[in-house]
């Protein structure tokens, strides 16, 4: 049986629709319209045209031999989603869902965002399609990703800082859902990751799987064979599902997802959901979840706003449960060190999120040895993280700032 392109609502024991009744009609409408769209060659053609002429797809692959010296000499190839318009893989999904919004005939879109990359992608497509756009972002994240807040506002979106709960991504999703419940007649929710109620996990995966489909062919063309392993960072998990999907039926290709371990999984400050969580229900789906014994969601922590989420997409929970993919934790320090290493060895500054995949790959390469080829999803670029990196590495010179 093929593991690819599972339709949902369930992925093994995970997934489903745990939502207020008020949202069911909208989810049904979205499911039905998406089913029509995915079988409509005109929809695929319109999306492909945007991928090529707007985003700049296919994204290239780049082999990084100087970086690979630190990974036991394994051959390391980056899939360059950082080169996409708006700076990450998020645009792939935002374009797909914006086209769908147009098809349904709604004029307003809402989105949640953590690092701001999905918010920027949604604000971008809203500008492109002439849609009203509101982005919910945790107040903590608006502070640590101030540059992306400015980008969204420049693009014409309204950014709402969410002040409830932990004031991060999970609370932004809560507020976006409340908005959707209240405005569902005019509004489509452009969900940013492979979590949430059906149809989002399957639909967002479908809009992102172009990453793996391109990369699989590109790696075959470059090396003549499939990679030994494919790696990606996992917060909600959209870039990871995007690159994993094409390889799910290649049993010799190992799949590794790297979760944010923050200060370490032995501490209370991490976001390593599959490593440390238990099955539970959050944001409309049954998946793995960081929670206390009463089922209250526990606050997550990561230096990377995009991975700072106590849940994970249900398809990842399923892939972990059947052993098809392996999920491992990477600390803030390991990720930041990989960020600097790629910058200095290859002249590529990765997003802190993607740096978790790079850090994991360094270790994996040493384990697999010099004969191995590893494909890494470089899901985003690090421009948005310069302030965090500047503070972390003490690069911001007081005098220089003032001159």
Partner 1 sequence: MTTPITSGAVSTVEQTIARRRSEGGGALIGYLPVGFPTLNDSIDAAVALVANGVDIIELGLPYSDPVMDGPVIQAATQQALANGFKLRHGFEAIRAITAQVDAPVLIMTYWNPVVQYGVERFADDLRAAGGAGLITPDLIPDEAADWMAASVRADLDRVFLAAPSSSDARLVQAIEASRGFVYTVSTMGTTGARAGVDAAARILVERLRAVGCTSACVGLGISTPEQVREILGYADGAIVGSALVKALTDGGVPAVARLALELAAGANDIRPASSPEQIQH
**Is 379 among the catalytic positions?**
yes
Is 398 near partner 1 (CB under 8 A)? no
- Distance CA(92)–CA(32), nearest Å, equals 21
Is 165 near partner 1 (CB under 8 A)? yes
Exposed e or buried b for every residue in 353-363, given b needs 16+ CB within 10 A? bbbbbbbbbbb
Q: Which stretch binds partner 1 (CB under 8 A): 14-22, 81-89, 235-243, 318-326?
A: 14-22
- The helix (run of H) or strand (run of E) holding residue 208 is helix 200-208
Binder among 57, 79, 170, 270 for partner 1 (CB under 8 A): 170
Binder among 17, 90, 151, 301 for partner 1 (CB under 8 A): 17
- Distance CA(136)–CA(133), nearest Å, equals 10
Is 362 near partner 1 (CB under 8 A)? no
Angle value at C-alpha 91, between 354 and 236, nearest 5 degrees: 50
Contact 4, 324 (CB under 8 A): no
Binder among 20, 65, 369, 390 for partner 1 (CB under 8 A): 20
- Distance CA(113)–CA(91), nearest Å, equals 13
In the window 269-308, what residues touch partner 1 (CB under 8 A)? Answer: 278, 280-284, 289, 291, 293-297
Q: What region, left, alpha or beta, does residue 13 occupy, with left being phi > 0 and alpha being psi -120 to 50 degrees?
A: alpha
**Is 112 among the catalytic positions?**
yes
Q: Which stretch binds partner 1 (CB under 8 A): 19-27, 136-144, 205-213, 245-253?
A: 19-27
Q: Smaller CB distance to partner 1: residue 19 or 125?
A: 19
Annotated catalytic residue, options 33, 214, 379, 384: 379
Exposure of 260 by Cβ count < 10 A (0-12 exposed, 13-18 middle, 19+ buried)?
buried
- The residues, any chain, with a CB within 8 Å of residue 400's CB and separated by 6 or more, are none
Binder among 164, 225, 391, 393 for partner 1 (CB under 8 A): 164
Binder among 16, 257, 262, 350 for partner 1 (CB under 8 A): 16
Is 196 near partner 1 (CB under 8 A)? no
**Is 166 among the catalytic positions?**
no
CB of 293 to partner 1, least distance (A): 7
Q: Which stretch binds partner 1 (CB under 8 A): 60-68, 121-129, 139-147, 179-187?
A: 179-187
Q: Smaller CB distance to partner 1: residue 80 or 170?
A: 170
Q: Smaller CB distance to partner 1: residue 311 or 365?
A: 311
- The residues, any chain, with a CB within 8 Å of residue 91's CB and separated by 6 or more, are 55, 84, 85, 121, 124, 125
- Distance CA(136)–CA(119), nearest Å, equals 8
Q: Smaller CB distance to partner 1: residue 44 or 181?
A: 181
Annotated catalytic residue, options 81, 112, 315, 346: 112
Which of 155, 200, 156, 157 has the alpha carbon at shortest distance from 177? 200
Is 184 near partner 1 (CB under 8 A)? yes
Q: Smaller CB distance to partner 1: residue 29 or 263?
A: 29
Binder among 7, 13, 18, 370 for partner 1 (CB under 8 A): 18
Q: In what order do the strands lie in the sheet with 187-189?
A: 158-162, 132-138, 108-113, 187-189
For every residue of 33-97, DSSP letters joined together read HHHHHHT-HHHHHHHHHHIIIII-PSPPEEE-HHHHGGGTT-EEEEEEGGGSTTSBTHHHHHHHH
Binder among 7, 13, 22, 397 for partner 1 (CB under 8 A): 22
CB of 317 to partner 1, least distance (A): 14
Binding site for partner 1 (CB under 8 A): 16-22, 24-26, 164-165, 170-171, 174, 177-178, 181-185, 278, 280-284, 289, 291, 293-297
Q: Which residue numbers are catalytic?
A: 90, 112, 379
């Amino acid at each position: 049986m093929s593991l690819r392109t599972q339709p949902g609502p369930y992925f093994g024991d995970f997934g489903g629709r745990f939502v207020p009744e008020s949202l069911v009609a909208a989810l049904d409408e979205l499911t039905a319209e998406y089913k029509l769209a995915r079988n409509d060659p005109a929809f695929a053609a319109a999306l492909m045209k945007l991928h090529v002429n707007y985003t700049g797809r296919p994204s290239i692959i780049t082999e990084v031999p100087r970086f690979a010296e630190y990974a036991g000499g394994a051959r390391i190839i980056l899939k360059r989603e950082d080169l996409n318009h708006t700076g990450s893989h998020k645009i792939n999904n935002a374009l797909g869902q914006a086209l769908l919004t147009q098809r349904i005939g709604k004029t307003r879109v809402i989105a949640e965002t953590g690092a701001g990359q999905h918010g920027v992608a949604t604000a971008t497509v809203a500008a492109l399609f002439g849609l009203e756009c509101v982005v919910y972002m945790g107040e903590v994240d608006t502070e640590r990703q101030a540059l992306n807040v400015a980008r969204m506002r420049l693009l014409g979106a309204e950014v709402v800082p969410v002040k409830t709960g932990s004031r991060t991504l999970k609370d932004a999703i809560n507020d976006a859902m409340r908005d959707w419940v209240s405005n569902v007649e005019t509004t489509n929710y452009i969900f940013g990751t492979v979590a949430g109620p059906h149809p989002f996990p399957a639909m967002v995966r479908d809009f992102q799987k172009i990453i793996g489909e391109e990369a699989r062919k590109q790696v075959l063309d470059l090396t003549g064979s499939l990679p030994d392993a494919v790696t990606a960072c996992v917060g909600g998990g959209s870039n990871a599902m995007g690159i994993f999907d094409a390889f799910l039926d290649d049993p010799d290709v190992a799949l590794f997802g790297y979760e944010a371990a923050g200060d370490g999984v032995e501490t209370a400050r991490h976001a390593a959901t599959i490593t440390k969580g238990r099955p539970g229900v959050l944001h409309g789906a049954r998946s793995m979840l960081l929670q206390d014994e009463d089922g209250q969601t526990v606050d997550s922590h990561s230096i990377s706003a995009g991975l700072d989420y106590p849940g994970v997409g249900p398809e990842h929970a399923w892939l972990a449960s059947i052993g098809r993919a392996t999920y491992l934790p990477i600390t803030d320090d390991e990720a930041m060190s990989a960020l600097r290493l790629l910058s200095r060895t290859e002249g590529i500054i990765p997003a802190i999120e993607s740096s978790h995949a790079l850090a994991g790959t360094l270790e994996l390469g040493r384990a697999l040895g010099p004969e191995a080829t590893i494909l890494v999803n470089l899901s985003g670029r690090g421009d948005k993280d310069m302030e965090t990196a500047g503070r972390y590495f003490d690069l911001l010179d007081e005098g220089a700032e003032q001159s």
